[in-house]
Structure 1
Amino acid sequence: MAKRKSSKKLYFAYGSCMDYEGRVTTDGYADDFSFQGIAQLNDYEFRLNKIASDQMHAYANIRKKSSSVVYGYLFEISNRAEIYLDRREGYPSHYTKKSVTVYLDGKEYTNVLVYVAKSNRVCQVQLPVSSSYFHELLRGSEQLPEPYRTNFRSYLKDCYRGQLYHYSDENTAFIQSNPEFYSLTRDMTLFLGNDNQLAENMQISPEMFRIMVKLTEMAFRNELDLGHLIPRELLKKLNHEFQSKKELLNS
């Protein structure tokens, strides 16, 4: 297999930087990235497990896994682009740099730059991705080969809509003691997601909003006892209105 050498540095993008026409361009670095093609990185797998600075969301990462493959965009980049990437990826605090070998069109490319999350920045439980990051990855994955693209997008959508943020583990003490509240809150989260238009069409009433706030405040104070009449009736009213409005939207 032929090895390909370049006078410029090569960079392998597997996450949001695949969205070349997004922030790379709007940040003014379009001329510093030269797209070479879709490359293959062997014995690694793609994960959404890098903890964001807000501690509530996840970013892209890769980790070693035998016989797995990660596809991404191979770029030739300038020194200016590498400085930009260091800043964008939070190097060296959040991501570290590695040199890997990738394959493109039957050629082997060595000494390719890739960013990998530091071990102390990796989630122990699955966190969701933000709306803006979700759409960056969705746009960036457009040229990835099948079936990798379908699997990539399925995993991405699961992380976008499939988590109730901090409660990805359903065996926590809070969830065990408040299963009805958790179940309803989870249903509302999964139904509405981050879709502002859907929330607007649902026409959430002021009463529904006040009940949700009240129950959430009680939960945060560890005072939500659904064995008592008042919180149980509040939960019943909230559930009734949510189910009624959901049925209207689906009809």
Structure 2
Amino acid sequence: MRTQIDAGGRPHVRLVRTAVLDSVASLIDAHDVAFEPQPDVDKESSDEGGVSQDRPTIASTPRFASRPAAAIEQRDWHRRGGYAYHAGHESAAQSGAWAMVIDGSASMRVRDQGEVARLLEAIIGITIAARLGGPESVGVTRLNGSRELGPDLDHDVADWSTLFSGAPSPWSQVTPAVRAAAQQVGPGGLVVLVVDGTPVDALDLVGWSKENPERIELHVVALGRSGSKHREALRWWEDELVVLAPLREAGHRLVAIDGPAAVADHPTELADDLYPRERG
């Protein structure tokens, strides 16, 4: 309906009232659509049935946007390890991103759970003190990948039940999880690996550590006898970790311990092995 309206004493102007109302409604709808939060997406092309299609995919999460284990820094259960580090390394601490990978193989699972838990808590406490902050992640290897433990540990008492539950991997394969952790911490970061003996993919791990394009520092705490700790007692064929020895040559840290009980409650020596003191 067209209606004439007196526009303030001016000549009559024809206004299309219904058109104006419709236009206002359209603008409101357009405003709602334009300002509705939209997911950040990238287009991914695919061929299905010979037809090229564009599918929206959620954009990748920026690095460090999700740190499932960082909050454990505030907990007290790892303080013993922190005290062990501060006993002789106060001035050496340097801020930096780090992550932990734990061997979830059957051989690790059959060890005393309390001793293993105390060993891991000591290592975490030492590394938090040395890196001035909590880890990006704490993962346990599984048969097909790894599982994050960070939320289980963010309690007054760390819950390690996930580590010892579920189907274990029949063998120790750690390199894929180490690579993933390295990508998470980024260039110059640290990955701490706790493994029972020599993993089946030890040669892959050594090869990656030598190439190391991200300049990742690797600390390996391995349960087993090694000439590095028993030079007088062991003959060369008795060294259970000899395949991992090239890690030291590549500039990484390899610490061998006979068992978790040896250092779980007395972690000062472990702190010195991971972060050797400067001798004056």
Short-chain TM bin: under 0.3
Compare the two structures and name the one with the higher strand fraction. 1
TM-score scaled to structure 1, two decimals? Answer: 0.28
Decide which structure has the larger Cα Rg and report it: 2
